[in-house]
Amino acid sequence: MSDILEELRWRGLVSQSTDEDALRRALAQGSLTYYAGFDPTAPSLHHGHLVQLILLRHLQLAGHRPIALVGGATGLIGDPRQSGERVLNSTDTVAEWTERLRGQIEPFLDFSGERGALLVNNLDWTGPLSAIELLRDVGKHFRMGTMLTREIVAKRLESEEGLSFTEFSYQLLQGNDFRELHRRYGATLQTGGSDQWGNLLAGVELIRKAEGAAVHALTTPLITKADGTKFGKTEGGAVWLAPDMMTPYAFYQYWVNASDEDAARWLRTFTFRSREEIEAITAESAEKPAARLAQRTLAGDVTTLVHGESATTAVQAASQALFGRGELRDLPAEVVDAAVSELPRAEVTLGSTTVLDAFVASGLVKGRNEARRTLAEGGVYVNNVKQDDGDRVLSAEDLLSGGRHILLRRGRRVLGAVSVTG
């Protein structure tokens, strides 16, 4: 598709934009420089940031030059939330998180050649900025009426907790970021989530007033689930991109468990497969839904994008092995740990806990009577081996790699685990 804006719209990556026709012409005329900002308000990026990283990559593949901004300055402030004042993190914490985010962003972009990506920190120009300079050179161009009518500001002002001047001033800092990148590198487009629309417009207006130049803003929509539940919501919170906050196995499982409708939509948004490939996968999935081709393709592509091919291979092997389609004992200890952490489990003592006791403790059955019925029906498995003797005592020989866990399975699909205490 020659029109990159229409390609992005087909993929569900376009929500709002300033003067869409002008933006389309700018994108078609040659390479433009664009940017997105990522604030270190947590030690990891999450699923929402992933949408922005994918957008940056699409635009770079179309011949444009990306700038990824990590907000070492704005991360010290934090943009206003829907409710409640942000906790201000220490400068050391924000600096540490800034470096973590830089490492997560780098694999998504190509930094080589004339159009190579740039990775910048807004603390470089915001840190030396005095209060007088901020008020005279930036604040002078902002109008209180406009700032007060922005949705999130108005909502917080009407709430009991109100809004501090610290968070209220955030839009000045983000607007100034756009102006600095416009001055330094010729950036003419800022992208962000739809909840950032007001902040993006602040930069567009600042550049128009202070520099006399026309620039653009483009937002991505809020990604939703077909059933109305919040995208990215898990038992542990967000879908984090850092492996020490969400294991590659858990990350893969989030995507592979998508509904048929969500998987079809998310293939467009979160993968770089062509329209023809996606349509073929979607059609085959509709004909053979039990094979879950769309989900497996989605999970594999996104996990590879975020964690790399070797991590994807490992978690796919683990997923197969957990259900008896691979050798459990070949899995590395860290993969076993990650897989078991996602299952209902209990702690047991080797040498005294029986197979049926383990099933009851893990919650796979409600009691010993149900456990014995399941055993009689041939539905009790330990490490994917069918059990005939429910009174067999678990021993060290049952432990998987790492020497901590034993996998339990009830029937074909219900998994649990026990971990040893002695």
Please provide the distance, in angstroms rounded to a whole number, between the alpha carbons at the two ends of the chain: 61
Q: Is 16 annotated as a binding residue?
A: no
pLDDT of 18-75, one tens digit each?
A: 999 999 999 999 899 999 999 999 999 999 999 999 999 999 999 999 999 999 999 9
216 and 273 both lie in a single domain: no
pLDDT of 120-133, one tens digit each?
A: 999 999 999 999 99
27 and 169 both lie in a single domain: yes
Cβ contacts of 94-98, under 8 Å, gap ≥ 24: 94/40, 96/43, 97/40, 97/41, 97/42, 97/43, 98/40, 98/70, 98/71, 98/72, 98/123
- Answer whether residue 260 shows pLDDT above 70: yes
- 14 compared with 330, residue with greater pLDDT: 14
Q: Is residue 102 part of a domain?
A: yes
What is the domain range of residue 262? 224-330
pLDDT of 297-354, one tens digit each?
A: 999 999 999 999 999 999 998 888 888 788 888 888 888 888 888 888 899 989 999 9
Would you say 365 and 410 are in contact if contact means Cβ atoms under 8 Å apart? yes
pLDDT of 131-188, one tens digit each?
A: 999 999 999 999 888 888 888 888 888 887 788 888 888 999 999 999 999 999 999 9
* Distance from C-alpha of 45 to C-alpha of 242, rounded to nearest angstrom: 7
300 and 417 both lie in a single domain: no
186 and 306 both lie in a single domain: no
Q: Nearest 5 degrees, angle CA 87-CA 88-CA 92?
A: 130
Q: Is residue 336 part of a domain?
A: no
Would you say 298 and 270 are in contact if contact means Cβ atoms under 8 Å apart? yes
Q: Is 29 annotated as a binding residue?
A: no
* Distance from C-alpha of 394 to C-alpha of 365, rounded to nearest angstrom: 18
Q: Is residue 92 part of a domain?
A: yes
Q: Is 82 annotated as a binding residue?
A: no
Q: What is the pLDDT of residue 132?
A: 95
275 and 349 both lie in a single domain: no
60 and 193 both lie in a single domain: yes
233 and 353 both lie in a single domain: no
Q: Is residue 33 part of a domain?
A: yes
- Domain final position from 220, 244, 261: 220
101 and 169 both lie in a single domain: yes
pLDDT of 340-393, one tens digit each?
A: 888 888 999 899 999 999 999 999 999 999 999 999 999 999 999 999 999 999
26 and 108 both lie in a single domain: yes
Rounded to two decimals, the pTM is 0.89
Could you tell me the CATH number of the domain that includes residue 216?
Answer: 3.40.50.620
Would you say 206 and 177 are in contact if contact means Cβ atoms under 8 Å apart? no
Give the type of residue at 55.
L
Would you say 174 and 203 are in contact if contact means Cβ atoms under 8 Å apart? yes
Could you tell me the CATH number of the domain that includes residue 390?
Answer: 3.10.290.10
Q: Is residue 319 part of a domain?
A: yes
If you count them, how many residues does the chain have? Answer: 422
Q: What is the pLDDT of residue 1?
A: 37
Q: Is 252 annotated as a binding residue?
A: no
In the chain, how many domains are there?
Answer: 3
Q: Is residue 401 part of a domain?
A: yes
Query: How are beta strands 385-386 and 380-382 bridged, if at all?
Result: antiparallel
264 and 354 both lie in a single domain: no
Q: Is residue 320 part of a domain?
A: yes
74 and 117 both lie in a single domain: yes
- 229 compared with 303, residue with greater pLDDT: 303
183 and 231 both lie in a single domain: no
